Chain A
Amino acid sequence: DIVMTQSPSSLAVSAGETVTINCKSSQSLLSSGNQKNYLAWYQQKPGQSPKLLIYLASTRESGVPDRFIGSGSGTDFTLTISSVQAEDLADYYCQQHYSYPLTFGSGTKLEIK
């Protein structure tokens, strides 16, 4: 199984700052066939279901603000949130969709100071 390791587990920032969340996979998520990385990011606000932000490592889901940026390749990935807003208070999860079983990172809790 591919193990997804997220860091940090939590962080607190002030509104307007830039946040970086890291996700490392135990195996490469890069498909040699199409050169795409099979990594997704989700946001879960308090009391809500998770919401897809990014798929294929860097493709933003429709309607997701462009301050959410996914990057990385192979085994190392990053979710960057620029100019964090109060509404970004949430847990963030990475997930590999490269092979079964599909697996998630343990999550990063983002708090706003």
Chain B
Amino acid sequence: EVQLVETGGGLVQPGNSLKLSCATSGFTFSTAWMNWIRQTPGKRLEWLAQIEDKSNNYFISYLESVKGRFTISRDDSKSSVYLQMNNLKEEDTAIYYCTTGNWFDYWGQGVMVTVSS
């Protein structure tokens, strides 16, 4: 059974940082392209970042508006993907999901991030 479990969310003040983790199992993580997507309180879905697999040199793509603030990374030995989020803003408040592929065939349950003073 495929599982993706996000952790690391919570309440953080504007300007602070947070690192999300996504632990996976049930599929060949090392060849999977992994993504972070968020869903705002208004239910809008927004793709944030993607990291490809080793055969593609772990190529990374970002949504322009988070480039320089968010960093995606992966550890194939732990079947995990991460999202380091710096200089958080109130508009980053959302549920954050990790997903697989270019059409997102597997999703985690999501983790809530609230940015508020």
Contacts and interface: CB of A to CB of B under 8 A. Distances in A.
Interface centre among B61, B63, B102 (most CB of A within 10 A): B102
B46 A104 contact: yes
B103 A104 contact: no
A91 interface: yes
B104 interface: yes
Interface residues of B, number: 20
Nearest to A93: B45
Given A100-B61, A101-B63, A101-B64, A50 B104 contact: yes
A42 B104 CA distance: 9
Q: Which 4 A-B pairs have the closest CB atoms?
A: A55-B103, A40-B103, A49-B107, A104-B45
21 contacts: A40-B103, A40-B104, A42-B104, A49-B107, A49-B109, A50-B97, A50-B107, A52-B103, A61-B105, A91-B43, A95-B103, A95-B104, A101-B47, A101-B62, A102-B35, A102-B47, A102-B102, A103-B47, A104-B44, A104-B45, A107-B45
Given A97-B102, A97-B103, 15 more contacts: A38-B103, A40-B104, A49-B97, A49-B108, A50-B45, A50-B97, A51-B107, A91-B43, A95-B103, A100-B50, A101-B62, A102-B47, A104-B46, A107-B44, A107-B45
